[in-house]
Every structure is written in C-alpha cells, then in structure tokens.
Structure 1
C-alpha cells in the first residue's frame, strides 16, 4: 500500500483515491490483455513460422503500451524444442504483465472488495513461478494466457474476474450520470461527447425491449475519454471507445466473426479505417477462438464528431442476439441473404429483437404451412418456394411487421395472421404470374394449331407458296413458345413449380405442331383425299388446344369453397380435351386407311404420314397436360 493510500485510509477517505486507482486499473487491464495476445501470437509463430503474422502494433497502440520494440517480438520468436520457445523480451513481458495485474488489484484492495482477498491469493500463487531470460515453456505460456477454466486457474482468468469486479466498482463510484451513462473523472468538455454517444444508444435501445444490455460508463485516462458499453454476456464480447481530440478509436472483440464483420458494415457514410481483423485462440471462448478489430475515425469538426459518436451508439443494439437471429433466418435463405436482411433491419432502425420475441422462425413456419398447405413437403425451404429475392423480401416484411405490432401493443396473434396473409398473397401472386405466362404459352399452341389448318387449306388449293409461308410462321410461333417457357424459368429461379412443369410438357405440343407444318411442305403433290383426311385430324387438335386455354383460366379460381359452376367450367374443359384426343385417334386411322390405298410412291406422301404422326402426338400431349392439371387442382388445391 502506498503512503498516499495509507494516509487516506487513516482518514477513512479511501473513496477520494479510488476513481484514479480504477482509471489506472482499467488502463492496466488493456495493457495486460495486449501482453497475453503478444505471448500467444509469439507461440503461434514459433510453431508455424511460415504463417502470415501481425506485429500487433495496432493492438499495442490501442492498449497504450509505448515500447515499439515489442512490435518485433512475434516475428523474432522461434521454437527451441518440443514445448520450448525463445520469445524476445519474454521476461520483461511477463514481469510487466504481473505488474499490470498488481495495479488492477490495488483499487479492489482499497475499496475492500469482497473478492480482493481471493484475488490476492490467486496472484501470489502465480508470482512464485520463475520467469527469466527469453525462454518460455508451453505450460508457462498456458498458465499465463489460458482462458479455459476447466484446465485450471491462469493469470488470464484472474484478469477477467478482476475486470468484472473493477467494472462493478467503477459503476458504484460514478460521480454523475449523463443521459444514463455513469461518468467520473471527466472534463467539462467530455459531457457533450458522452451525451452524443448516449443519445445514439437511447434512440435505438427500445428495440431490445426487455433484453439486458447496453449500460455505459465513461471516464478519462490521461488525454483520452474512455467509453465502455456492456453489449454481451461473454468474456470476449467487448467494446471500448477512446476519444482523443477528434479521433475516435473503437476496439471490438467478438467470438462470432460474422457479427464482427456485420458491425464493421454499419458505418456506411463514415470513413472508418479498420485494421486487419485478428483471430485469437482461447479455449475459454466459444469454438476456442475470438476475433478483434480496431477502427479509427477522425471527424472534420466537433459537430461531426458528436454525430459519429451518436451513430456509433445507435448501432450497438443491433449486436444483441444477432447470431441467434442470423441462425433463425438461415433456415429460410442462404447465409448472405440472412445477413443482408439483418443489415437492412439495422439500417432502417427496425432490428431483429421484436421478431425473435414475437416467435421468430415459428412465425414463418406457420405462414408456410398456411400458404402452401398440402403442397408443403418436409425440407422445403422458403427460398426454394418463393425464389431467394422474394423470400428475402418476405423476411423483411416479417421483421418490420413484428416491430410495428409490438410497438403498437397489438396482440401477437394479429401479427402472426398478418404474416400468414402476406405469404399467402405472395404465393398467390407468384402462381398468378406463372399462370399468366402459361396462358400466353397455351395461346401460342392455339396459333400453331390454326397455322396447321391454314397450311392444309392452302395445300389443298394448290397454293404451295402459302404453305411455305405458313411453315415460317409456325417456326416463329414455336420460337415464341420457347421464349415464354424461358421467361417462366427466369421468373422461378430456384425450386419446383407445377406450372413450370406443365409448360415444359406443353412445349412438346408446340414442337409437334411446328413439325406438322414443316412435314406438310414435304408433300406438295399429295392427293386431295389425304389432305382432307389430315384436315379431320387437325380439327380435334385445334379444338383441344382452345379447351386447354379454358382449363388453365378456370384453374385460377379452383380452390376450396369455389362455387360449383366455376369448377364445372374447369372439369368440362378437361373432359372436352379427353374427348378430342379420342376423336383424333379415329381421325388418324382414317388418314392411315386413305394413305394405305393411295398408289403413289411413298416419297410423295411421306410428309402427310409424318404430319399425321405429329398431330396425334400433339393430341396425346394435350390430354397428358390436361390430366396433369386436373390432378393438381383436385389433389393439391381442392384438398389443401
């Protein structure tokens, strides 16, 4: 105990010394954690000298350690043998680390903290070890830097426990509260900066609802205003802000690298210079690794400085339970899309906590069950059913609707109903858009069937030049049908779609009809009886193509509870197509009988034979598509 401390103790005025002791202790905490990282990085480089390394210069400067010689420690470290390393300045690094820990203990002793005696005993247990020279053993480094409580005590664990005690002591010593921030030892000029930071925190803090977090403290250490915020419960989730002049330096550590990168993305519009993100091994953290980044921003003037501090404070709420929200969203969209949704929610001051509290992923599962009913299969993902972009839009709607509902005090069941209705609407609009494309495609099949009929009429009248023109027109219609199918595929980028499957089957009909016209051009001298018989085969095909259009249009309204007359229109159209297919079978036989009795060389009637085959395949295709549509409507819509 120092002389000054003894005097104050005798006067029972320890509190007069405590604020400055706590300031120094917190600065020592920054320094000792840098020294731990330095030893870990030196050991890692000694084990893997070819790996990319960092000098940890940015971390050293952020911790307030002035000795630039330490920047060479990592690169100059080497392995001497199994579990033995040469680490330049090792003895001094370890000695300074113990000195920092002793300085951290001082205010706890003075304040007679309940844990101070236990902390003293733990520290003494480490100081009996002999650390000398530049050589360190692996077990010595482990005893200093380990964060794994299951592996026994370490200096690092002692520092973490003392840091918690210092934060509690710091909160109890606050001489004033500025907009909810406990502050002590500050200057008059600091108050406006603290107020700006707290304005940002308080502006968005309601978005966490009753979740704990975001208490802030402020103090001054030398020429730096130091702001701290409790944004997480894990040891490695730490945010420390240093304000020196108009430069703001943020040191942020996190066990989740994606959240760290997300945090860095929240400063669009502000020139923040981020040092390279560093990963640290620590068995006490989730997955044994945590990550650190340091970012600095220099404001042009004091107004811009306060604006930046406000923005920084306003972003912290979006880190709370971020990883939980991301995992839930990833059930429905890919990793990047989930992060994009959270970024959109943060930029719009919507956040994700309201959605989590309202039910989170269960809201979406319920909506999917409601919207898709019997069509939903185990393992179906939202991005497969809607496309990724539409699924992302729906997730945005979820987060926004959940916040509005909770902010306005609406029942959770109402928000759930609104979300179900929205998804059902999106599903219906997607289906309607696809059905519109299918109707366009079916209309082109009608045009092709009519073109076959016109080509036969021209052939029977001997107008062969018109037949050739009809063949070109049929090719154009078939190309247009292919284009509609491709449009449907681009509308539904991923996943299955019944309408797309239906169009793919129907596209074969368009191919058959186009080939029929082409084959007619190959028999310019075919007898009139053959052409007439072929014309009787065209009629049921053309009529069936029109009935397909009717069936598709009627299917738009075919659902549970539809009026019986609407269903009758659909069923009658399907029945008509089946009747036409039977008629085409009979007409095809007439064509065969006519051709069988024709004495002309086969080469002269070859085109008629092939055209008949094309038309019969088109008729079969029309019936196949009609039955697919009927099964879909009856089995998956009516009974959904």
Structure 2
C-alpha cells in the first residue's frame, strides 16, 4: 500500500491535498504538452511535408518520455476535414487520466465535478483514430464566451489549484506560499522572491505576481500567475544547477519581449518556431516556450533566480501599454520604449494609471496649433528619437510621482512642461546642428586633404569627393525636411530660410571637393611651395569658421532656458569670429590668385585651382549670411533685442 493510500484509509484525506496539488500541477504540464502535440500534428498535416515542430524542451519540462508521442505529429495526416491521428486511443487515455488527476484536489466542487465528468465521457466516445474539426475545437479552444472545451477546463482547474496551493502552504517565504520543500530550497525561493519584491511596487494595485513553491522529487517548483489572464502563466523548475522555465502567453510580441528580457540573465530558449507557434487554439493566440539556464554554481543560480523574479512585473499589462503607445509612435518604437522602461526599472504601469496616451495627447493639445495640428502623430512632428526620449521621461516622472504618493495631476503638468522643453530645446536647433555637422565634415575633409597632399593623389581625392557628395545629399534632405515643416507650421519658416542659407555652405564645400578631384587628375602643376601654402591657409580659415558656426549653435540652443550673460557674450564672440574669417578669406583668395599667376602656367591647372579657391572662399560668404540669421533666431528665443 502506498503512503497516499494509507492516509486515505485512515480518513485524513486533507493531508493528501498537498500531494494531490503537486500531482495536479504535473498533470497540467502534461496536458499542455498533449495539446501541443495535437497542434503540431494538425499544423504538419495541413502543411504537408513542412518541418516538424521541435517539442523536445517541452517534453523534458513536462517529464514525459514517450517515443510514440514524439513521433505522432510526423505520422498524422488529413483526409478532407478529418485529421487521422495514430495512437489516438493511447493519447485519449492519457488525456482522461491527467484530467482526473488535475481535478482530484478539487473533488466535491460541483462545477468541476460536472465538467470533468462530461469531458471524460466525451473523450471515451471519440473515434479510434480520427478527429473532426469540431473535435479539435472541443479539445483546444481557449476562447471565452462560447462553448466549453477541454482547454478551458484545464485553465480553470489550474487557477483553482493555484488558489488551493496558497491555502495549503505550510509557510510563507518573503511572500511565496510554500509547502513540502527541502532546507536547501529556502535560499532559492528567497532569491526568486527577492527579485520579485524589488520591482513588485511597479505594478501598483494590479493583481498578480502570486507565487507558490513546492518540491516534486528532485525538482523545486516555482509558479507565478503574473496577472489575471487565464493563459499567462510562468512555471520554474530547479534541479541541481539548472533552471527550466516554461512560459505561456496570448501575445506573440509580449512573448518576444520576455525572451529578450530573460536573455539578459542567460536564458537559452527552445527553437524559434516553437516560441511562435507551439500553442493552443491552433497557433492563433496562445504561445508556449521553454527557457533553460545552466548556472556555474550556487551563487550564480541564486543571482539568476533573482534576475528572473525582478523582470516578471514588466509583463503585467504590457500589451495594453504597447497598443496605447502605438497611437503616437511606430510599433518598433513602442516595444523599444517598453524595453528601456523595464531596463531603467520604471515600468509602464504608473504611466497607464496616470492617463497613458491621454498624457501625451493632452500635452500636445496644450501647446496648440503652432506646434501640433489635429491628427499629428508625436513621432512625425518631432522625430522618432525625440518622441521615444520624451515618452520615457514622462514614464519616469510618472513612476517617481506615484512612488512619492504625490497627486496624479502632477504627471499631466510635468508632461506638458517636458514637451515644451523638448520642442524649445531641440527641434529647430537639432536640425541646424545636424546640417552643421555635414558642413564640418566637408570643411575638415578639405583641410586634411590639402595637408596630406591629396591634390596629387587621384585615388584619395576621388574617394573624398564621393564621400563629400553623399554628405551634401544628406544635408539637402534636411533642407527638404525644414521646408515641409514650414509649410505646416509658421514657426518653422525662419528655420527653413536659415537652413537654406546654410545649405549654400555645404554646396560650396562639396563643389570644392569635386574640383580637388579634378586637380588631382594630372592638373596639379605648380602647386608646390607658395601655391600649396596659401591654399592650405585658406582651407584652414574656412574650417575654423565652420567650427565657430558649430560652437555658436551649441550655445544658441540653450537660449530661453537657463542661458546666462556669459552665454550671450560667447555666442556673439563666435559669430564675430565667423565675420573675421570671412574677411580673412577675402584676403587669402587674393593671395592664392597672386601665387597661381606667378607659379602656374598650365591653363587647366590655373582655371581649376582658381575655381577651387573661389569655392572655398564663397563658403565663408554663405556662412556669414547664416550667422546673421542664427543670431536673429537665437535672440528671439531668448527674448532679447539684437
């Protein structure tokens, strides 16, 4: 007589509940595996000779070793609407046996007694080797609000067993309901709960994160229900120094998100196709996967369990947050925002509680049509990078305010102030700074080309000319961006005019790079000595002027916030250096022409060299015009007169 039977005979059936709960949880794992096998059989039979879904990790996690069951998907085939399933009677017996094992701890609960009896009888009357479409639906459908199914029964039993496990726990370790564990398990449960409790507060008052722990032979079992969703379950098995984690989710994108999160603590997931299609409801909405962690020692094992626990909270309401984010950023950016919010340990729940997308739309509306028109998306109005950064800042402020128990209204106020700061501090000057970076690269390249004698190196000069052409093209794209924004928003008009002026600088420098490549093609006679020296001085002066332009932009973008009198003085000084450089280049251009007249007799060299020097000098003319426009724009933002 086995111990469990002896206890039952003695009339102490209550003492059997922990053992039966443990057996029920193991039966739950096997039932999910059986339906995954049926799913794989259906998919393979529908596709024909496609690859067979790899369920090896799922078999290992469920502790099932049955060659016939592993081979079942490969041997199944369709005939019309019927799915022929070899060994169906054996599978039917396993389903019935484990369904009863799952229900055993809940005997006497009328609802479950009736449903289990109904489905066990239904399994008994199944055909010997075929399943109809209705049969498959009755086995695997997980949709609520329609007819009952075996799958729905399994999920409901699982939830009820988790509640029972909490009631049966003989002790509590940092919030985990625990029973029948070994002394060595305590540190492992505590490590998992330490991570879980580090971030638990981020879920606010949302239900979820209930944890149960027990031992099943050589394995420690940890279960976390994550949230209220029937299919959102996490099961961890610890045996020796290996952790095996089985995760189920209705949403593929959230599943992928959790994969990446656990990758940070060394997860090795099962094959990709199993992660995206090995699920219930014929792969439509339910995904199951297994991750393993092989730890180097006890310390690494505890650290991994803590890392897993700390990341679970970010799954709660993740899909709801993603959908709301996608109203004003791209799908990829929405996931990127949620990923970084998790990495920063701020999460998204406080943002949702404070209004979510309403915070963003409210801030946009408060700024008015000068910045945003009706129907504008945040990312198209201010760019993807800034939109992501702004939303993350709002999420961070929401988390801080909620943690400090301050009024939620503060989050909306902060969101509006943050958006004003992003738009005033960035936008126009960001676009100008990006354009100036291309001008800087062009001027620096011309200076360095002369310093290295590239006027005599055809290959090097041609390669630089091609890079210069690409930079000038990218600068042109920024001009087009500014023009399109100016058409929709009057405040961008001054910027568009300023960028157009700056683009003449880029055009002149790119023209100089092209002319240098022609000079290097055997038209550099007489460039040694005085000619090269004066050309180098001219290129150095142009580069210095562009550097001062970039410096003026860096100072000017701070105007209107916390700029000081020293900032204003340094800004004006940089613009005066541009003015002086333009005058210096006028003189240097004459010096170049004088040197060319004295030392160059070849007509082609003389013509190309003169044009080259003229292009360099004209860049400073346009740079000076740009500086005047920059001065007007910066001072208008600072609210001071010119």
TM-score past 0.5 threshold? yes
Q: 2:405 matched to 1:406?
A: no
Find the aligned partners of 2:165 and 2:390 in 1 and give their Cα distance.
45
Q: Which residue of 1 aligns with 2:548?
A: none
Is residue 231–residue 320 contact of structure 1 (8 Å, CA) maintained in 2? yes
Q: Which residue of 2 aligns with 1:33?
A: 32
Q: 2:73 matched to 1:84?
A: no
Q: Which residue of 2 aligns with 1:611?
A: none
Is residue 394–residue 423 contact of structure 1 (8 Å, CA) maintained in 2? yes
Q: Which residue of 1 aligns with 2:257?
A: 262
Find the aligned partners of 2:98 and 2:506 in 1 and give their Cα distance.
83
Match runs of 1:100-179 below 5 Å: 100-109=98-107, 112-132=108-128, 134-148=129-143, 152-179=147-174
Find the aligned partners of 1:91 and 1:439 in 2 and give their Cα distance.
72
1:93 to 91, 94, 108: 91
Gaps of 5+ in 2: 438-467, 487-491, 510-555, 561-624
CA displacement 1:530-586 (0-9 Å, x = unmatched): xxxxxxxxxxxxxxxxxxxxxxxx9x999xxxxxxxxxxxxxxxxxxxxxxxxxxxx
CA displacement 1:279-321 (0-9 Å, x = unmatched): 25645x9x94211221100110001100100010010000001
Q: Which residue of 2 aligns with 1:65?
A: 64
Is residue 92–residue 123 contact of structure 2 (8 Å, CA) maintained in 1? no
Larger Rg over CA atoms: 1
Aligned length: 487
Find the aligned partners of 2:3 and 2:316 in 1 and give their Cα distance.
43
Deviation at 1:388, TM superposition (A): 1.1
Change (3 A) 1:235 1:377: same
Give the secondary-structure state (helix, strand or coil) at the position aligned to 2:286.
Answer: strand
Change (3 A) 1:334 1:148: closer
Change (3 A) 1:217 1:169: same
Change (3 A) 1:489 1:177: same
Find the aligned partners of 1:488 and 1:86 in 2 and give their Cα distance.
61
Deviation at 1:18, TM superposition (A): 1.4
Gaps of 5+ in 1: 442-478, 515-553, 559-621
Q: Which residue of 2 aligns with 1:42?
A: 41
Q: 2:478 matched to 1:489?
A: yes
Larger mean CA deviation between 139-148 and 29-38 belongs to 139-148
Find the aligned partners of 2:507 and 2:43 in 1 and give their Cα distance.
70
Deviation at 1:164, TM superposition (A): 2.1
Change (3 A) 1:351 1:148: closer
CA displacement 1:379-424 (0-9 Å, x = unmatched): 2122222221111111111111111111122222333222212211
1:364 to 360, 363, 369: 360
Q: Which residue of 2 aligns with 1:236?
A: 231
Q: 2:212 matched to 1:214?
A: no
Is residue 55–residue 75 contact of structure 1 (8 Å, CA) maintained in 2? no
Deviation at 1:256, TM superposition (A): 0.9
Find the aligned partners of 2:413 and 2:508 in 1 and give their Cα distance.
48
Give the secondary-structure state (helix, strand or coil) at the position aligned to 2:277.
Answer: strand
Is residue 237–residue 253 contact of structure 1 (8 Å, CA) maintained in 2? yes
Deviation at 1:327, TM superposition (A): 1.6
Match runs of 1:167-316 below 5 Å: 167-276=162-271, 277-280=275-278, 282-283=280-281, 288-316=284-312
Find the aligned partners of 2:87 and 2:474 in 1 and give their Cα distance.
72
Deviation at 1:501, TM superposition (A): 3.4
Change (3 A) 1:131 1:369: same
Larger mean CA deviation between 48-57 and 315-324 belongs to 48-57
Is residue 265–residue 307 contact of structure 2 (8 Å, CA) maintained in 1? no
Give the secondary-structure state (helix, strand or coil) at the position aligned to 2:180.
Answer: coil
Is residue 94–residue 131 contact of structure 1 (8 Å, CA) maintained in 2? no
Find the aligned partners of 1:113 and 1:75 in 2 and give their Cα distance.
40
Deviation at 1:130, TM superposition (A): 4.0
Find the aligned partners of 1:440 and 1:116 in 2 and give their Cα distance.
72
Is residue 200–residue 314 contact of structure 1 (8 Å, CA) maintained in 2? yes
Is residue 279–residue 288 contact of structure 2 (8 Å, CA) maintained in 1? no
Is residue 236–residue 255 contact of structure 1 (8 Å, CA) maintained in 2? yes
1:395 to 388, 391, 395: 391
Q: Which residue of 2 aligns with 1:429?
A: 425
Find the aligned partners of 2:395 and 2:148 in 1 and give their Cα distance.
44
- The two structures, once aligned, show a CA RMSD in angstroms of 4.0
Give the secondary-structure state (helix, strand or coil) at the position aligned to 2:370.
Answer: helix
Give the secondary-structure state (helix, strand or coil) at the position aligned to 2:288.
Answer: strand
Find the aligned partners of 1:190 and 1:55 in 2 and give their Cα distance.
32
Is residue 83–residue 132 contact of structure 2 (8 Å, CA) maintained in 1? yes
Q: Which residue of 2 aligns with 1:21?
A: 20
The normalised TM-score by structure 1 is 0.68
Is residue 148–residue 282 contact of structure 1 (8 Å, CA) maintained in 2? no
Change (3 A) 1:210 1:398: same
Find the aligned partners of 1:197 and 1:493 in 2 and give their Cα distance.
52
